[in-house]
Structure 1
Amino acid sequence: MKKLSKYPILLFLYAAAALLILSYCKNEKPQPVYEDLGSVKKEIIKNNSEFEKQINELIGLVQKNADQKSLQKKFEDLRKTYKKMEWAVEYFLPNSARFINGPALPEIEMDEHTEIEAEGLQVLEEMFYPYDQANKEEVIRFLKKLINKSNTIDTNFQVITVSKNQVFDAVRQEAFRISSLGISGFDTPISGTFLQEIPYSLEGIKQTLQQISTDQSKDQSLKRINIEISSAIKVLKNNTDKNTFDYISFIPDHLNKITSLLLKFKKQEQIPDIEVTTALNKNAATFFSKNAFNPDAFTPGKEFAFSKEKAALGQQLFNDKILSNNNNRSCSTCHNPEKAFTDGLAKSMSLDNAELARNAPSLNYAGFQHGQFWDMRKDDLEGQSSDVISNKEEMHGDLNVILAKINQDKKYREAFKKIYPSQKTEVWQLQNVLASYIRSLAKFNSDFDEYMRGNKSAMTENQKRGFNLFVGKAQCAICHFVPLFNGTVPPTFKKTEQEVLGVAINGDNKVFDRDLGRGKFHETVPTLQHSFKTPTLRNISKTAPYMHNGGYKTLKDVMNFYNKGGGKGFGFTVENQTLSDAPLQLSDQEIDDIIDFMRALDDR
């Protein structure tokens, strides 16, 4: 793989062939063939040429020992140029995009237990804000690596075919990226210049739609999209202060309107869907539309697809003690629906009434994660259920024994036969129905969802201020991504992140918690030591106590921890802490407002 990366054309052709084979194996519908959109590619190549030119200019300024202000100005211009073509790079060259504008954290090869050096714009941001001339050679080295990525963009877009439905899909994805990562400042956690950059992303969308549109949509849907984009840009230019920007109004009043109008444009242009299963449904007008998300994007395969019948059977088994060794414990023992499917304890209790190692996580929205348990040791909910059932301390069950008991029960035997008629009842089916029930627990009917769907009275003024703080000053949304509020990264939702916070054993923040988390399974990867999955904040007010160890009794305790700068802020030595150690400077009232907002995430 490392050798292939030196030859971008080869790498692209290899990936394209792999995707074609995968599509064939899954019996997916063949994609319609469109004439290659040369004008769109020319614009991408043009922007990339400017991008490379600005990189070289920035190298020249660094070599001439220019002052910090000049370097930062040139760097900000460079980022804005990238934003014009971000829609294309993220979609067609996602691997390159990760190393152009991904987080300033090493890329981890999980199977090989190794780290790949972080690079790109976010790494450079850390070097320019502030700038230290002692790092001059390192800055130049990373800028030259960025030139290599620019060359990859140019080479690939010279040869690949870009079709109309792909371009639309890419532009729509970019609109949702703005509505999540863009609006949260995920790309610029240090400089905080993201509000100045979003207009360039929007202009990129606007120009690209112009290139692929016909006269009919230019007079109708495209015209309306352009009006909305101009209106959004005007708001963004009127206030670029991330701490005072009105996010709670901007998303529904502008970004949601743009993504909704994109569907009308698609209909007018008669653009067919890309036939690939995605987490965000192709007909979702906004992130907050009812049934916007497809749980099947998180299943191990097509045979595991969600259905109401599977969920109903899974609910029966979830509450049945038949799953435990001695028929004395069910899944609901530790996952109480009244407590958002937690147990209210700091740490769950074993079969012998001894304290387990960690807090029971909520099962609400667990289906929208790639990685289950705090340490993410299982990829999906099917694996999660078998792990719990067979764990000697939790349920001490044997899946094959349980299956035999189920086959002896006429009611269960008939129910499984109805769902899986052509197969004998197998262990994977038991896992699948339990997982399907958990996937059904995502309701998306909170006051926040209602507000984003147009009901402006659904949230209080305190909650609105809390959301603005959550996204802006407190920077919560750069880890708990809107709209799932977990660590599954939008807009593709193909990866769930883990974080190193430097958590203490309890809210006193005096003793560091030595739990290695995900690092236990990757001992040679420094970045993963003491790392834990970023859970959803939906229904968070019902799931106290908090953190993986249940050591923080209240949301106030949690917010105080973050406000101080995590473990480093309390004096712990956490060299790999991913949470910024800069104090947030939140007042008591601001913390209360954020907590009040989080209550608006409770399902009804």
Structure 2
Amino acid sequence: MKFILKYPLAIFLIITFIFFGILQCQTDQKPIVNDLTAVKKEIFKNNLEFLRQTNELMDLVSKDAESKILQEKFQQLRKTYKKMEWAVEYFLPNTARFMNGPALPEIEMEEHTEIEPEGLQVIEEMIYPYEKQNREELIRILKKLTNKSNTIKANFLVITISKDQVFDALRQQVFRISSLGIAGFDTPISGTFLEEMPFALEGVRWTLEQISTEKSQQKSLKQIVSEIVTASGILKKNPDKNTFDYINFIPNHLNKISSLLLQFKKEENIPDVEVTSALHKNASTFFSKDAFNPNAFVPGKEYEMSPEKVSLGKQLFSDKILSNSNSRSCGTCHIAEKAFTDGLEKSMSLENVALQRNTPSLNYSAFQHGQFWDMRKDDLEGQSSDVITNKKEMHGDMNAIIAKINLDKKYQKDFEKIYKTKKTEVWQLQNVLASYIRSLAAFSSDFDEYMRGNKSAMTEKQKKGFNLFVGKAQCAICHFVPLFNGTVPPNFNKTEQEVLGVAENASNRKTDQDLGRGKFHETVAFLQNSFKTPTLRNISKTAPYMHNGGYKTLKEVVNFYNKGGGNGLGLKVDNQTLSDAKLNLSEKEIDEIIDFMTALNDQ
């Protein structure tokens, strides 16, 4: 007490020092959160303009304006949407799906029903070109679009957005631009995607500026703005999808922007949004060596990969103990040198009789929601047991196999070490096999190397082939970069199926009658004869092709697409999802595309 009375100033200074020291520690622990009011206001502003333009387009339709005028107004509307796309897609994904999703029915699998498509892509189909007899239907779709605009306003009035969420949304948008945007996924008819991309990039730039502080403004933000300005200039200079230089634009500009975003995040001390995602939070680009997280595709936390699981799964993959007769292993039909296919037209039964379908590659199957050509199993755990217990394939009994494993001292010791249980269980066997299959994604192709900065990794012919693959041939609309399968970026939470009108063989005279996914959804017309979109990675090793193995070479496959699939070849395919428009690829261009696909082989 005497000390306090005698030295009041000293005590005051000590307490003040401690107080500000504690405050500083708290400040260091928590990121600076800016006032995000401006960000919300911009969303409202863009949405209001979107609503105005929608109503204007509706008025023009009611007056039977010419196609050209409607198309110009529609393009303005799409560009306005692109400015706020980053926010709508992230915070209101269901609304985004019905504003700018594919012009295909949405499927409610449990109810086996279709939900009518709507939104910008449906409108695009109706005004390229516009036919007056569709006036009332087009107005109806436009009215539904105004309802979605009102939904955006209502939701953003009540939801709270944080700096970490906004950053995460912007990062996803850059990845969206680098995959769906650069391929023209949402403008399949008009092909105006290169004109729209500067508006999507502008939305990223403006928002980053609002959430930035002095920490980044003279460092990463300055570089990001410079890259976006440069990229937008290139896009505006050549918006022709058939001649654009995709192979250099992605690594030279889009990859740089996504890499700089990680610097921005570090400088601004922005924490990760704690949600498991297919892309690791520290992945600087789509093409970073360990960008993808296979654990985002597992059924639950206990199923996550480990080196021990992969090693044990590899042993069991090649062990004939999994078949009833001890005569066949998983490796019998999935040969490593053939990218885990068997090289046959169709899989062979235990009695050496051809089965219904071609053996699919296991490479990169970890990054799919739906296994087998017909997607009948959700994950690789279900896939493994389905094959093992199939009477025609391995005719195994899971419980009998587990009994044999529990009698094998080495296997039992390995399982016990991993799962900490005395007896091996069925799910554990499924999990180690699935873990091994999840490891079969090397991302070590020449294409990957090129995207990582090695400019000598691809030949000039392969570069031309990639530009055709993304541009004129429109392959990347279904085989999404960088996985080159049907799992939709940037969230990778859905894998698409397509109806191509595949024929029995490359003579293309008779449609293949396999119902595919439709077998399990008989009342859903949209799914009849539909099949999963597989990866094209290592594709040159997996001949023959298609679900029925009817196409012996990649040239036969590309020719099929070049002519517009089944419908383009004159086969009747009422629900074909592939465009039946001819691609008009020359023989030289076809060869270049095929040569590019060899650059997708892992080394």
TM-score of the two chains, using structure 2 as the length reference: 0.94
- Secondary structure class of the residue paired with 2:292: coil
1:197 pairs with 2:196: yes
- Secondary structure class of the residue paired with 1:360: coil
Deviation of 1:237 after TM superposition, in Å, equals 0.6
Other-structure match for 2:52: 53
Other-structure match for 2:305: 306
Q: Where in structure 2 are the equivalents of 1:436-585 lying within 5 Å? A: 436-585=435-584
Contact preservation (8 Å) 2:341, 2:362: yes
How many Å separate the matches in 2 of 1:304 and 1:338? 27
Q: Deviations over 1:523-558 (max 9, x none)?
A: 000100000000000000000000000000000000
Contact preservation (8 Å) 1:565, 1:579: yes
Deviation of 1:340 after TM superposition, in Å, equals 0.3
Deviation of 1:422 after TM superposition, in Å, equals 4.5
Deviates more, 1:58-67 or 1:588-597: 58-67
Contact preservation (8 Å) 1:48, 1:150: yes
Q: Deviations over 1:152-192 (max 9, x none)?
A: 00000011000000000000000000000000000100000
- Secondary structure class of the residue paired with 1:161: coil
Q: Where in structure 2 are the equivalents of 1:317-466 lying within 5 Å? A: 317-422=316-421, 424-466=423-465
How many Å separate the matches in 2 of 1:36 and 1:471? 40
Contact preservation (8 Å) 1:546, 1:554: yes
Q: Which amino acid aligns with 1:342?
A: T
How many Å separate the matches in 2 of 1:514 and 1:411? 47
- Secondary structure class of the residue paired with 1:99: helix
Q: Which amino acid aligns with 1:236?
A: L
How many Å separate the matches in 2 of 1:353 and 1:74? 61
Q: Which amino acid aligns with 1:81?
A: T
Where does structure 1 lack aligned partners over 5 or more consecutive residues? 1-30
Where does structure 2 lack aligned partners over 5 or more consecutive residues? 1-29
- Secondary structure class of the residue paired with 1:243: coil
How many Å separate the matches in 2 of 1:287 and 1:35? 29
How many Å separate the matches in 1 of 2:422 and 2:504? 48
Q: Which amino acid aligns with 2:507?
A: D
TM-score of the two chains, using structure 1 as the length reference: 0.94
Q: Deviations over 1:456-495 (max 9, x none)?
A: 0000000000000000000000000000000000000000
User: Structure 1 residues 37, 546: CA separation in 2 closer, same or farther (over 3 Å shift)?
Assistant: same
Q: Deviations over 1:361-381 (max 9, x none)?
A: 000000000000000000000
Contact preservation (8 Å) 2:31, 2:269: no
Other-structure match for 1:214: 213
Larger radius of gyration: 2
Deviation of 1:36 after TM superposition, in Å, equals 6.6
Contact preservation (8 Å) 2:34, 2:211: no
Deviation of 1:424 after TM superposition, in Å, equals 3.4
Deviation of 1:60 after TM superposition, in Å, equals 1.0
Q: Deviations over 1:395-430 (max 9, x none)?
A: 000000000000100010000011111463110000
Deviation of 1:65 after TM superposition, in Å, equals 1.5
Other-structure match for 2:148: 149
Q: Which amino acid aligns with 1:486?
A: N
Contact preservation (8 Å) 1:385, 1:434: yes
Deviation of 1:511 after TM superposition, in Å, equals 1.0
Contact preservation (8 Å) 2:32, 2:268: no
- Secondary structure class of the residue paired with 2:107: strand
Other-structure match for 1:3: none
Cα RMSD of the aligned pairs, angstroms, is: 1.0
Other-structure match for 1:91: 90
Other-structure match for 1:26: none
Q: Which amino acid aligns with 2:575?
A: N
Contact preservation (8 Å) 2:231, 2:253: yes
Other-structure match for 2:234: 235
Deviates more, 1:55-64 or 1:487-496: 55-64
How many Å separate the matches in 2 of 1:534 and 1:143? 31
Other-structure match for 1:20: none
1:169 pairs with 2:168: yes
How many Å separate the matches in 2 of 1:193 and 1:174? 18
Contact preservation (8 Å) 1:33, 1:163: no
Q: Which amino acid aligns with 1:312?
A: S
Deviation of 1:38 after TM superposition, in Å, equals 1.8
How many Å separate the matches in 2 of 1:512 and 1:216? 61
Contact preservation (8 Å) 2:195, 2:235: yes
Other-structure match for 1:115: 114
Deviation of 1:219 after TM superposition, in Å, equals 1.1
Runs of 4+ in 1 over 4 A off after TM superposition: 31-36
How many Å separate the matches in 2 of 1:61 and 1:332? 62
How many Å separate the matches in 1 of 2:434 and 2:601? 22
Q: Which amino acid aligns with 1:521?
A: F
- Secondary structure class of the residue paired with 1:553: coil
How many Å separate the matches in 2 of 1:495 and 1:34? 33
How many Å separate the matches in 1 of 2:467 and 2:306? 37
How many residues get paired? 574
Q: Which amino acid aligns with 2:363?
A: N
1:103 pairs with 2:102: yes
Other-structure match for 1:39: 38
How many Å separate the matches in 2 of 1:478 and 1:519? 22
Contact preservation (8 Å) 1:129, 1:190: yes
How many Å separate the matches in 2 of 1:156 and 1:559? 45
Other-structure match for 1:4: none
Q: Which amino acid aligns with 1:309?
A: E
- Secondary structure class of the residue paired with 2:247: helix
